[in-house]
Amino acid sequence: MMILGVNAYHANAAAAIVVDGQLVAAVEEERLNRVKYAAGLPARAIQFCLDQAGAKLTEVDHIAIPRDPRARMGAKLRYSMRMPSFAIDRIRVMRRFAGIREDIAAAFEIGPAEIRAQFHRIEHHHAHLASAFFVSPFDRAAVLSADGLGDFASFMCAVGEGPEMRTLGEVAFPHSLGIYYTALTQYLGFWKFGDEYKVMGLAAYGQPTYLEEFRHIVRASPPFSFRLGLEYFSYQINGPDMTWRDASRTPVIGRLFSPYLEKRLGPARQPDEPLDQRHYDLAASMQAALEEVLVACWNGLARRSGQTALCLAGGVAFNCVANGKIFDSTPFEQVYVQPAAGDAGLSVGAAFAVHHAAGGAREFSMDHAYWGPRFSPSAIQAVVDRTLSSGEADISELAETALVESTARHIADGKIVGWFQGAAEWGPRALGNRSILADPRRPEMKDTLNRRIKHREAFRPFAPSIIEEAADEFFERAHPSPFMTFAFPVRPEKRSAIPAPTHVDGTARLQTVSRSANPLYWKLLRSVGDLTGVPAVLNTSFNDNEPIVCTPEEALDCFRRTRMDVLVMGSFLLERRSAAAAPEESDGRLANRAN
Ligand SMILES: [Fe+2]
């Protein structure tokens, strides 16, 4: 049985394909059309998934859509009476989803009747829950989804057992932890879609001195719910202003906070205004209030479900700082967060929801993130030969052991290395197949990377990858974090050993690398450890203000226009000749990229 999951007409458009209960492929449209957080119909992603399954669209048995416009219809109707523009928007959404068969058929240049697949609509949060639990290693677990908004709800919790889940509670519009975080992110001057993680990084510089006020903005409601102080927000009065129908541009979200928020907390920061201690303290207070609510919900869910394993999904599950506190604050002992915990992951969740609804068994767990496009050695060589002019770089082709040892030597020598291997990662994190790597022991490496390649705000931390066997030696908690979804404290005596990816509060958003999940990357980290005594690297995504590179052409292009020293693609090692180095970035460019 072949099931195609499609997250369409929503940010993080993506597709996934499940064949006989096994995930075969999954990719976000942004990696293929190069539009960050692309919405619209993910036609390229669908094509990729079909290619990986060796199938034509006409051979697919089921198409799972993680959206049910008919969900919570009563609540939507009540809201529509007060907000006619919302009603018009809902009608547009319903029409759009009603026409998805025609849209897919048109994209593949076939008639709608030629698609013999049965279409299924899976409610947004059920798809989130399914995206976490059904691919987790747990037979039984508590499951929680928290995001901005989907199908008029923002939060749902459940208990899962085998191929089934039982919903325990939900929170509907207008209350939303995701919107809370996005609204305060805007208030702090960060308006781009997806900027929330910047404010999470900013919070480490401050103290939660505004926590009392924030407890009026968001508060827990036992046993596992919460409420917003709606007077601090405007979206529920003016209608959510979110633009994500167009696949050709990054979504935009309009202002979510009210004048009352500024009255209580002071004027909002302008995007070009310098950050100061007040902003740091506001960010710390916002994060602390979120954590208070999450801890209360997690504990309530633990009591009600009686489980010691927890699965998380929805955009809030990317709050690795909060996730890192689960173990000390709740009875949960094991936590699983799928690499694409946000809306891209809905495609996987919807597909598995259909698989299990049809009686399929639990026979799959996602223990690695490498479900995207991969390229053969000959394809990589052809790109290198075609693209690189002679004299730009010294090129060598190496067997695996020599490749790993040579790359490790470059990292230990302080070089910045582009590392392009195997299949692209599923989800927003580079996890050792489309990564830029550097020596974590060098305190100056963060600034060097920002100056030469990444051009990010100076306050944002970088992350380490470490072999799982050494995690306990360097971190105060050794719980697996294969998808960089937990921040744990670095042991105080080890902070000087990995200063570059250690954040100002002494934590790091680590990736633990197992030999089974990524043998080549594991060998590289071990080889770095053999040279330096630290089996870890600083790992940042292979890109420069763009979606993470997907193809060899994009990797080579990024290598050529930035000041990366070395590019390792497949078995090829390209070392930039010093005369061919790209010019120094000017400070002006850095300033322009600050927001
Ligand atoms: Fe969502």
Ligand 1 centroid–CA 423 distance in Å is: 25
**C-alpha 344 to ligand 1 mean position (Å):** 9
Distance CA 501, CA 514 (A): 19
The Å distance, Cα 147 to ligand 1 centre, comes to 5
Q: How far apart are CA 549 and CA 220, in angstroms?
A: 40
Distance 465 CA to ligand 1 centre (A): 27
The rounded distance, in Å, linking the Cα atoms of 72 and 166 is 18
Q: Taking every pair of C-alpha atoms in the chain, what is the biggest distance, in angstroms?
A: 68
Ligand 1 centroid to residue 202 C-alpha, Å: 24
3-class secondary-structure state, position 518: coil
pLDDT at residue 586, rounded to an integer: 37
Contact 402, 465 (CB under 8 A): no
Cα 159 to Cα 58, 145, 408: the distances in Å are 36, 12, 44
580 vs 560: CA distance, rounded Å? 9
- From the centroid of its chain, how far is CA 345? 9
CA of 346 to the centre of ligand 1 (A): 8
Spatial neighbors of 519 by CB under 8 A, at least 6 apart, are none
Q: Distance between CA 172 and CA 506 in Å, rounded? A: 36
pTM of the model: 0.94
Which pLDDT value is given to residue 147? 96
Pair type for strands 572-576 and 566-569: antiparallel
For residue 68, the CA-to-ligand 1 centroid distance in Å is 12
For 503-525, letters b (16+ CB in 10 Å) and e give bebebbbbbbbbeebbebbbbbb
Q: How close is the Cα of 513 to the center of ligand 1, in Å?
A: 28
The per-residue pLDDT for 194 is 87
Cα(232) to centroid(ligand 1), Å = 22
Residue 343: name the closest of 2, 8, 3 by CA: 8
- How many angstroms is it from 66 CA to the middle of ligand 1? 9
Instruction: Please give the Cα distance from 436 to 416 (Å, whole number).
Output: 7
Distance 124 CA to ligand 1 centre (A): 6
Ligand 1 mean position, distance from CA 504 (Å): 30
What's the CA-to-centroid distance between 534 and ligand 1, angstroms?
38
| Spacing, Cα 148 to ligand 1 middle (Å) | 6
CA dist., res. 202 & res. 498, Å (int): 20
Q: What is the pLDDT along the chain (595 residues), one digit of tens a residue?
A: 999 999 998 889 999 999 999 999 999 999 999 998 888 899 999 999 999 999 999 999 999 999 988 888 888 888 877 777 777 777 777 788 888 999 999 999 999 999 999 999 999 999 999 999 999 999 999 999 999 989 989 999 999 999 999 999 999 989 999 999 999 999 999 998 889 999 999 999 999 999 999 999 999 999 999 999 999 998 887 766 666 556 666 777 889 999 999 999 999 999 999 999 999 999 999 999 999 999 999 999 999 999 999 999 999 999 999 999 999 999 999 999 999 999 999 999 999 999 999 999 999 999 999 999 999 999 999 998 888 777 889 999 999 999 999 999 999 999 999 999 999 999 999 999 999 999 999 999 999 998 888 888 889 999 999 999 999 999 999 899 999 999 999 999 999 999 999 999 999 999 999 999 999 999 999 999 999 999 999 999 999 889 999 999 999 999 999 889 999 999 999 999 875 554 444 333 333 333 3
- How far does residue 194's CA lie from ligand 1's centre (Å)? 13
Query: What residue type is assigned to position 7 of the chain?
Result: N
User: Read out DSSP for 282-324?
Assistant: HHHHHHHHHHHHHHHHHHHHHHHH--SEEEEESGGGG-HHHHT
- Size (the chain), residues: 595
CA of 549 to the centre of ligand 1 (A): 24
CA 58 – CA 66 distance, rounded (Å): 21
User: What is the Cα 90 distance to its own chain's centre?
Assistant: 27
**Cross-strand bridge partners of residue 7:** 14
Helix residue spans in 306-369 (DSSP H)? 320-323, 326-329, 346-357
| Torsional class of 10: left (φ above 0), alpha (ψ -120 to 50), beta (otherwise) | beta
